[in-house]
């Protein structure tokens, strides 16, 4: 049985050796920060027009994270590629020969992937927040304002959990193309459409993307089904279920 630290070292080597995974993490940072900065600047320059009819307090933190939707796409792709690359190249057979304990192998992959995603997400979240506030000028908030620090950490945790959720789904499907073909329409077509349909939007409120978006809230709005901490719990449950499903399929299905 391979020692767990050796498994972690092996998984780290695999991830950093695949250039596409590195680029998708970099893209998560660039897209989230760049789009957030642009929209923050536009909001500052057109503040009265954007907020004139809004009865809720202006959320400077949420404005800075306006680009996180596209950042989600990049980090989902990262999670899919980090797991799916082994299946597309056939290297999964070598990995399983070296580590026959399949659950342990996936656990090691999840630990390394989660740590790397969390580190990149923390850098992305804090950089996006501070650059966004600089673009907002007089309408900016501070990291010490009530609930702001929690929202910034929430953004980082949300991106990390999305990455691990995507990794778990890919482990279940054993195919990165199929995983992307399911995850991208789910997050960017199905979930937004269902959220706009009155009779089924309650169901969409329990999807991981909606739950994760609650984690970024500084001001809780009336009429919302739940707040940031419940959103964290829902998103965490989806992530755990995907990884557990991936482990069960990996144990029972041939590579």
Reported confidence tier of residue 202, pLDDT bands at 50, 70, 90: confident
The dihedral sign for the CA sequence 61, 64, 68, 69: positive
Mean pLDDT value across residues 126-155? 94
Reported confidence tier of residue 2, pLDDT bands at 50, 70, 90: low
Task: Please state the domain extents for the chain.
Answer: 4-252
- pLDDT, tens digit, 9 for 90 and up, residues 220-236: 776 778 889 999 999 99
Asked whether the whole model's pTM tops 0.85, one would answer: yes
Average pLDDT, rounded, for the chain: 88
* pLDDT at residue 254, rounded to an integer: 61
pLDDT(255) > 70 = no
pLDDT(52) > 70 = no
Mean pLDDT value across residues 192-199? 80
pLDDT(159) > 90 = yes
Q: Kindly state the greatest CA–CA separation across the chain.
A: 64
- pLDDT, tens digit, 9 for 90 and up, residues 94-115: 777 777 787 788 888 899 999 9
Give the DSSP H or E segment for 176: helix 176-185
pLDDT(65) > 70 = yes
The dihedral sign for the CA sequence 182, 188, 189, 190: positive
Residue 29 phi, psi (nearest 5): -65, -50
Query: What's the DSSP call for residue 223?
Result: T
* pLDDT at residue 252, rounded to an integer: 81
- Return the axis-axis angle of helices 176-185 and 148-173, rounded to nearest 10°: 140
């Amino acid at each position: 049985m391979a020692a767990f630290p050796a498994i972690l070292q092996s998984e780290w080597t695999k991830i950093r050796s695949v250039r596409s995974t590195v680029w998708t993490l970099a893209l998560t940072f660039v897209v989230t920060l760049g789009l957030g900065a642009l929209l923050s600047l536009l909001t500052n320059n057109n503040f009265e027009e954007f907020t004139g009819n809004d009865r809720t307090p202006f959320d400077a933190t949420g404005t800075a994270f306006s680009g996180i939707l596209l950042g989600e796409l990049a980090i989902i792709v990262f999670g899919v590629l980090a797991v799916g690359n082994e299946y597309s190249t056939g290297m999964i057979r070598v990995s399983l020969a070296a580590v026959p304990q399949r659950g342990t192998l996936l656990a090691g992959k999840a630990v390394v992937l989660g740590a790397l995603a969390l580190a990149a997400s923390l850098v992305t979240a804090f950089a996006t927040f501070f650059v966004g506030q600089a673009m907002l000028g007089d309408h900016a908030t501070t990291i010490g304002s009530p609930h702001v620090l929690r929202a910034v950490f929430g953004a980082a945790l949300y991106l990390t959990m999305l990455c691990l959720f995507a990794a778990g789904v890919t482990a279940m499907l054993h195919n990165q193309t199929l995983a992307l073909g399911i995850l991208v329409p789910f997050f960017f077509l199905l979930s937004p459409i269902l959220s706009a349909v009155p009779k089924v939007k309650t169901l969409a409120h329990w999807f991981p993307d909606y739950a994760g978006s609650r984690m970024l809230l500084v001001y809780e709005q009336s009429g919302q089904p739940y707040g940031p901490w419940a959103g964290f719990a829902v998103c965490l449950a989806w992530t755990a279920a995907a990884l557990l499903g991936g482990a069960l399929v990996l144990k029972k299905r041939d590579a």
